[in-house]
Structure 1
Amino acid sequence: MVALRYAARTNVGLGSKSRNEDSAYAGPELLVLCDGMGGHAAGDVASSLVVSELVHLDGESHGADDSLDILERAIEEANSRLAEVMEVYPDSEGMGTTCIAMMRAGTKLAVANIGDSRAYLLREGRLTQITKDHSFVQKLLDEGRITKDEALHHPQRSLVTRVLTGRPEDTPDLSLRELRLGDRILICSDGLTDYVAEDTVAELLRSDERSPGQVADELVQVALRASTRDNVTVIVADLVLAKDGTTKPQVVGAASERRRAQTLAPLTPAEKAAQLSREASGTTLAEGPVLAEEGPTNPVLRWVRRILVAVAAVAVLGAAGWGSWTWTQQQYFVGEQDGMVTIYRGVSQDLGPISLSTPEDQTDVRVDALPVFYQSQVRRTLSADDRAGAETIVAELRRLAQAGCAPIVILPDGTRTTGIPEGAVAITVDPDDAAREALPVPTGAATSTDRPRATGDTDRTTAGPVGPVDDGASATADPARPTVQVLYPKGCP
């Protein structure tokens, strides 16, 4: 008989985040890690909600044959809960979370993954990544457009292409693995992998004499020494004999109900500085440092010294300011202007009344045509290395916008689909009329006057075949043809 010996650790990191948006759970049969996102739109709520929806899988008896199906259904239900919460609480709209969930059935391990959190397996000294990132940078790697070294420092490495956001299409990758005694598993958020080299991670994991808890502590500490700006969360688990396994579940991060009960290591100097910085944000700073005089001196010399110091300070500040301004004008980012995706030159910050950016190219991509999660990403801005990088981001956003503009077709039996059956009669429906006729029209659908008429389109009161209509011929309904209602999402061309 075998069991897991595990440990979960987390830290808010050295960035500006005042709360931990990561959540993790480690139990005898279940390991889960979620990295929430959404900023003010409750990333911590998203991660903790998904974890809480999955913990019931721990302790239940599951066979290897059905473990993947059980795990997939549980994540689907957790994703549906996200949608319900966003519907009830509009302020949470746009939140999302990555998720890696592992459910053990004997020596079999069912794995579900969505997002850019990662899972690794150390076997006989060799470290292997067993999940694949759903990220913009991974897409560039798959297409051979960047190298692995370039991916490590790419400015868009945090841009994910698939996470749990409450949409039905948010489905994870699934796999089933065979574990062996002595295997060591690592699950981590990008607060570790974005700042610590994989070779360093592998070296720490190979420390057989250290327990999972000791290794997890060291991984968090090395991320902090690397000045991680993000929350960092890790789960380390070993497959051991049953008598050596861990039995008490561990919950850390946003999902933890008793954060103060966690054992905390002493703060490092960098952590103390970051904590003080966060506490001081938004408050009036005390008076600046004053040079202390070492005994009485000549008043004239004292004033000369002060003037020289002031002149030197102004010179230094001027040089630094000019250098900073020059640097900002070499940066690019993608944001929103007048509801459209726009390429900006500069940085997305202001220096008092001075704007450090200017719009360079307003594209034809509407922000509200993007999926909700990516709308919030664009509004918070996406940085790029150069103009070419910004154009690459726009191309990806254009693809996402076009993917969401397929017409919604409602069949006579009320079933929704995106394909118009051959030979069917199409009616473009006005939501107001549909409400009076009790038609199942999705919220936010456009009326026939909300979009340009294309060849073969019909108005909302006239039925006709889909496709070109001969000049002068009226589009009339054919009783032999089935009638379907066609709606187009708002914001689509």
Structure 2
Amino acid sequence: MAIALRYAARSDVGLVRSVNQDSGYAGPHLLVLADGMGGHAGGDVASSITIGELVDLDGESHGGDDALELLATRLRSANEALERNVHEHPELRGMGTTVIALLRTGNKLALAHIGDSRAFLLREGTLTQITKDHSFVQSLVDEGRISAEEAEHHPQRSIVTRVLTGQPDDEPDLSLREARPGDRYMICSDGLSDFVARDTIAEVMASGTDADHTADRLVELALKAGAPDNVTVIIGDVVDLDRAEAPSTVPQVVGAAAERQAAGTRPLPQTPAAKAAALSRTAAGEDEDAEEEGSVTLAEEGPKGARKWLRRGGLMLLILAVVLGGGYAAYDWSQRQYFVGEAGGFVAIYRGVSQNIGPVKLSHVETATDVDINNLPDFYRSKVNATFNAESLTAARKIVDDLRSEAVSCEALKAKGQSCGAAS
């Protein structure tokens, strides 16, 4: 029995972020999602580079264990590329990215995973998460300190413990799974999984709509739920070619990888080797002219029409309310929010939201701390610079306590002459 994948990829910048740091790729043999991080330090660069290192695996099906080794080798190459880019561009120090990659090999799927982006399988009506988060909160679950239900709403659920950062110990989990006709796979960034309930995701996945409409609907629901982060969803349906029409083989690229390519002057090529070269050059910021045959689809960035209003609506209402002078309620709401960021080289707790409206500042330092950001591992320093949202002042204080522990551990390692590069 011959199988194939019907696929769709969608991405949206979210309701708060100004830059999409997610990148996604969906093709006939390969599905990849990378959720970049590092704020202004280049999360979009990290995710784009990683996609560029993987896309030429989207050729003919690979065999068995070879597929796992291919994924591992390419992710090592991506990690080395991140290290080279940081060396050549020091302003990118602190960037990193999660990765989930599914590579079809005959009637099996090779899975590589690092970070807290998630992969799900819908089989015979049951939705199962098939990846385990590499995160601080997951470690608390594993240790029995909190329940899985508590983890879903934990204020530190965005802190990851393993991602690609260019460090030599950034190793993914690898596994091989049977692919059955009727299976529906979904990989997503935490912009979906943190804001849409699992039962709702399961309901949409099982609704019977095609891959395109399913991906659109999931992104739409994340935006309706108020997702401030980037939202990326990739759907892959396993079909029996003996019973179904052959699906499209035109790949789709979304998020940062698509945006960085669209900013250039050449189309994305369709041949596997050319796709890899073009995406890698674009991710690294090189501007080489290339004449390649074919093109891939820069997939629609989420649902039409309402998607754009949902994405901008909340912030625009706040802006209009403040500017037009009727914004007391909106301003009052903003002053009941908290986040952790940097102030004068130290970690600080802010009251408000991290955006300003022209001369109107919507945040101020609530509590200064003695945690020097220069004593934090690179990864956590970049997260502070990008800001941690907190659900309450108590949650913000807990984040500061965790960061203080990271700083102490990092200083101890440095005293021994060891590196504390990214996450501990």
Which TM-score bucket, shorter chain as reference?
0.7 to 0.9
Q: 1:373 aligns with which of 351, 376, 379?
A: 379
Q: 2:115 — aligned with what?
A: 115
Alpha carbons of 1:107 and 1:285: their partners in 2 closer, same or farther (altered >3 Å)? Answer: same
Q: Which of the pair has the greater relative contact order for Cα pairs under 8 Å at 6+ separation?
A: 2
1:108-257 alignment runs, 5 A limit: 108-208=108-208, 210-242=209-241, 244=244, 245-246=246-247, 247-256=249-258, 257=261
Shift of 1:138: 2.0
Closer, same or farther: CA 353–143 of 1 in aligned 2, 3 Å: same
**C-alpha displacement of 1:393:** 3.2
Give the Cα separation in 1 of the matches to 2:341 and 2:3: 49
Report the TM-score when normalising by structure 2: 0.76
- 1:211 is displaced (CA, Å) by 1.9
Supply the AA of the counterpart residue of 1:3: I
Q: Which residue of 1 aligns with 2:291?
A: none
Q: Residues 211 and 393 of structure 1: is their aligned pair in 2 closer, same or farther, counting only changes over 3 Å?
A: same
Alpha-carbon spacing, 1:152–1:237, altered in 2? closer, same or farther (3 Å): same
Where in structure 2 are the equivalents of 1:19-98 lying within 5 Å? 19-98=19-98
Kindly state the Cα deviation for residue 357 of structure 1 after the two structures are TM-superposed: 2.8
Distance 1:269 1:17, change over 3 A: same
**Is the alpha carbon distance of 1:380 and 1:238 closer, same or farther for their aligned partners in structure 2, counting shifts above 3 Å?**
closer
Q: Distance in 2 between matches of 1:323 and 1:214?
A: 35
Query: For the Cα contact (< 8 Å) 1:6–1:213, is it kept in 2?
Result: no
In 2, the alpha carbon distance for the partners of 1:33 and 1:375 equals 24
Alpha-carbon distance, 1:280 to partner:
11
Residues 388 and 142 of structure 1, relative CA distance in 2, 3 Å threshold:
farther
Q: Quote how far apart the aligned CAs of 1:11 are.
A: 3.4
Task: Tell me the equivalent position of 1:362.
Answer: 370
Q: Does the CA contact (< 8 Å) of 2:136 and 2:159 recur in 1?
A: yes
**How has the CA–CA distance of structure 1 residues 76 and 323 changed in structure 2, closer, same or farther, with 3 Å as cutoff?**
closer
Please identify, of 125-134 and 244-253, the stretch whose mean Cα deviation from structure 2 is larger: 244-253
Deviation at 1:8, TM superposition (A): 2.6
SS in 2 for 1:128: strand
Tell me the TM-score normalised to structure 1 length: 0.67
**Cα displacement (A) at 1:12:** 2.1
Please identify runs of 4+ aligned residues in structure 1 that moved more than 6 A: 276-282, 284-287, 319-324
Matches within 5 A, 1:370-449: 370-385=376-391, 389-390=395-396, 392-401=398-407, 404=410
Q: For structure 2, list consecutive stretches of 5 or more residues without a partner in the other structure.
A: 264-296
Task: Measure the CA separation in 1 of the matches of 2:363 and 2:180.
Answer: 58
Cα 1:183–1:392, aligned 2, differ >3 Å: closer, same or farther?
Answer: same
1:64–1:395: structure 2 CA closer, same or farther, 3 Å change rule?
A: farther
SS of residue in 1 equivalent to 2:17 = coil
Percent of counterpart pairs with the same letter? 47
2:361 and 2:301 map into 1 onto residues whose CA distance is 42
- Shift of residue 73, structure 1, vs aligned partner: 1.2
Look up the equivalent residue of 1:370 and give its one-letter code.
Answer: L
AA paired with 1:114?
A: I
